[in-house]
Structure 1
Amino acid sequence: MKTLGYYNGKYDELDKMTIPFNDRVCFFGDGVYDAGPSRNYYLFAIDEHIDRFFNSAALLDIEIPCSKSELKDLLQSLVLKMDTGGNFVYFACTRGTGIRSHTYDKGPGNLWVMIKPEVLNDCQKPIKCVTAEDKRFYYCNCKTLNLLPSVLYAEKAYKAGVDETILYRKDGRITECAHCNCHIIKDGIVYTAPTDELILPGIARAHLVRMCKMLGIGVSETPYYLKDLWDADEIIVTSSSNVCMYVDELDGKPVGGKDRETLFRLRDALYQEIIEATDIKRNVRKCG
C-alpha cells in the first residue's frame, strides 16, 4: 500500500477511509495521539511512544481499546503492509462515538492509525525559526488532538518563510515549538525545559538527555528564558522525525554557530542510534 488508514479494525488507502460523524473527535478534538518513524519496516522507540500514548490517555480518562502489546503488534503488522519501509506512523484514540455532549459515557475509545511514506531527516542543514508567546492551555504534557494553537504557530512560521516557531510564556520562559521540543547549548552544557504541564515530554528529547549523559555532555533539565535563547551558543530543535535540528536564524537574526563541536557530536550520535537500531531489522520481509 502507498498509504494506510486504520479505524477500529478496518483499513485501506487513506483517501478511501471514512469515520462516523459522531466520533467525538469531530466536535471536541477529544482524543490523544502519538507518532514516530519507521525505517526498514522497523518502528523506532515504539515502546516509548506507546507508553506515552497510554499515559496521555490515562491523564484524560480515555480508555484505549487494546493492551500495549496488542497495539505494538497491530502497528508492526500495518507497517509491513506498506510499499516502503520508511514511514511516518501516527496512531490515535478518541474518547468514543455518540451524540454531541460535553459530558461523556465511559467506555472503549476509537482507535486510528495513519501511515505515510517519510524519509528520516539526517538534520545536516540548519533551520530558521521565529518566536511567539505561548498561549496554549495547561495540558501540554498530554499529546492531545486539540492542536489548533500548534496549527496557528506552524502557519506563523510558514508565512514568515521559516521552519518552526519557538514559544515562550509571559515571563519569558521558553517552553517548546509548534510541534517540536527546543533546547540550547551554553558553555558546553545542554539546557532543556523540565517535563511539566508546559511541554510535551518528547521521545527525541528523552533520547537527547540520555545521549548527553552517555557522551559526558552536561545536561540541565531546568527552565530557561528568552534572554538565554538569544545568548545560547547553539539552539537545538528535536522531534521523533527530526532527531536533532539546529537553528542558524531567529526572528531574522543570526544565532548559534558557537559550539558546533558539541552540537554535531550529539546530532551524529542520535542519528546513528536510529540507524543502528533499525538496521537490526533490515532482514524483515513484507507479509500480506
Structure 2
Amino acid sequence: MKTLGYYNGKYDLIENMTIPMNDRACYFGDGVYDAAFSRNNVIFALDEHIDRFFNSAGLLRIKIPYTKDELKTLLIDMVKKVDAVEQFVYWQVTRGTAMRDHVFPGDDVKANIWITLEPWNIEYKQQKLKLITLEDTRFLHCNIKTLNLLPNVMAAQKAKESNCQETVFHRGDRVTECAHSNVSIIKDGIFKTAPTDNLILPGIARAHIIKMCKRFGIPVDETPFVLRELMDADEVIVTSSGDFCMTACEIDGKPVGGKAPEIVEKLQNALVDEFLEETK
C-alpha cells in the first residue's frame, strides 16, 4: 500500500478512512498523539515514543485500550504493509465517541485509536535554519503531547510567511521551545537546554542529543536560558524526531551561531549514525 490508515481495527488507504463526527477529537481536541520515523520496517526509538504517549494519555486520564506491547506490535505490523523504505508513523488516542458534552463520557465509552503511515524522505543533510521568535501564549501543560496545536500552527505559518523555517517560543525572557521542535544552545563548549518541566515537550531527539553530548564529554546544562543567551550563543540547535540536529544561522533577521562547527558536526554525525544503525 502507498499509505495506510487505522481506526479501531479498521484498515484502508488514509484518504478512504472516515471517523464519527462524535469522536471527541472533533469537538474538543480531546486526545494525545505521538509520531516517529521508520526505516526498513524499524521504528526508531519506539519504546521512548510509546512511553511518552502513555504518559501524555495518563496525565489527561485517557485509558488507552492497548498495553504498551500490544500497541508496539500493531505499529510494527503496520509499517510492513506500506510500500516505502522510510515512513512517517503517527498515532493518537482520543477519549472516545459520545454526544457533545464537556465532561468525560461514561466508563462504557472506550477510547479511539488512530494510526496513519505515509512514505517520507528523511533528510540526513543538515541545512541551516532561519528562525523567528514569538511570545509563548500556549497553555501551561506543554509537556502533554495534546492534539490542541492551534498556537503551534499559527506560529509555523508566521515563520513560513517570514521566509523562515521555525519559530522559537519564549515566555517573557525565558526561551521554552519551538513550534514543532526543541531548541538548545551551545556556549563556551557547554550544551544548554531548557529543563523538561511543564513548559516544554520532553523531546525524544532532545534526549538523544543529550546522550551524545555525554558520550563525547560535552557538559550539559538543563536549566532555563533567556533570549539574550539565545542570540549570543555559539550555536543554536533545533532538534526533532525528523531533524536530528539542525543549526540556526539567523533569528529575527540577525545572524547567529556558526562558532562551534566542530561540536555540531560531531553531534550530527553521531545522531545520523545512531539512526542508521538502529534501523538497518
2:91 matched residue in structure 1: 91
The answer as to whether partners of 1:30 and 1:95 remain within 8 angstroms in 2 is yes
- Aligned to 1:184, the other structure's residue is in SS state strand
> Which amino acid in 2 is paired with 1:163?
Q
Question: How far does residue 116 in structure 1 lie from its aligned partner after superposition?
Answer: 1.0
- Aligned to 1:154, the other structure's residue is in SS state helix
Alignment of 1:273 with 2:262, yes or no, is no
1:217 matched residue in structure 2: 218
The answer as to whether partners of 2:185 and 2:192 remain within 8 angstroms in 1 is yes
1:33 matched residue in structure 2: 33
Question: How far does residue 240 in structure 1 lie from its aligned partner after superposition?
Answer: 0.5
1:174 matched residue in structure 2: 175
- Aligned to 1:98, the other structure's residue is in SS state coil
Residue segments in structure 1 that go unaligned for 5+ positions in a row = 280-288
Question: How far does residue 108 in structure 1 lie from its aligned partner after superposition?
Answer: 2.9
Superposition TM-score, scaled by structure 1 size: 0.95
| Alignment CA distance shift 1:165-1:123 (3 Å) | farther
- Aligned to 1:235, the other structure's residue is in SS state strand
The one-character-per-residue Cα deviations of 1:142-178 (angstroms, maximum 9, x if unpaired) are: 00000111101111111111100001002x1000000
Matched-pair identity in % = 57
2:122 matched residue in structure 1: 120
- Identify which of 151, 156, 161 aligns with 1:154: 156
The answer as to whether partners of 2:236 and 2:257 remain within 8 angstroms in 1 is yes
For 1:25 and 1:271, locate their aligned partners in 2 and report how far apart those are by CA, in whole Å. Answer: 35
Superposition TM-score, scaled by structure 2 size: 0.98
1:55 matched residue in structure 2: 55
- Identify which of 134, 137, 142 aligns with 2:136: 134
Residue segments in structure 2 that go unaligned for 5+ positions in a row = none
> Which amino acid in 2 is paired with 1:17?
M
Q: How many residues are treated as equivalent by the alignment? A: 278
The answer as to whether partners of 2:129 and 2:164 remain within 8 angstroms in 1 is yes
- Aligned to 2:279, the other structure's residue is in SS state helix
For 2:272 and 2:247, locate their aligned partners in 1 and report how far apart those are by CA, in whole Å. Answer: 13
The answer as to whether partners of 1:164 and 1:178 remain within 8 angstroms in 2 is yes
> Which amino acid in 1 is paired with 2:27?
F
For 1:3 and 1:190, locate their aligned partners in 2 and report how far apart those are by CA, in whole Å. Answer: 39
| Alignment CA distance shift 1:123-1:134 (3 Å) | farther
Alignment of 1:238 with 2:243, yes or no, is no
For 1:246 and 1:193, locate their aligned partners in 2 and report how far apart those are by CA, in whole Å. Answer: 17
Q: What CA RMSD, in Å, does the superposition of the two structures yield over aligned residues?
A: 0.8
For 1:236 and 1:41, locate their aligned partners in 2 and report how far apart those are by CA, in whole Å. Answer: 29
For 2:18 and 2:85, locate their aligned partners in 1 and report how far apart those are by CA, in whole Å. Answer: 25
For 2:60 and 2:126, locate their aligned partners in 1 and report how far apart those are by CA, in whole Å. Answer: 38
For 2:223 and 2:266, locate their aligned partners in 1 and report how far apart those are by CA, in whole Å. Answer: 22
1:227 matched residue in structure 2: 228
The answer as to whether partners of 1:92 and 1:112 remain within 8 angstroms in 2 is yes
For 1:123 and 1:149, locate their aligned partners in 2 and report how far apart those are by CA, in whole Å. Answer: 29
The one-character-per-residue Cα deviations of 1:214-234 (angstroms, maximum 9, x if unpaired) are: 111111111000000000000
- Aligned to 1:268, the other structure's residue is in SS state helix
For 2:188 and 2:266, locate their aligned partners in 1 and report how far apart those are by CA, in whole Å. Answer: 15
Question: How far does residue 85 in structure 1 lie from its aligned partner after superposition?
Answer: 2.1
Structure 1 ranges of 4+ moved more than 6 A: none
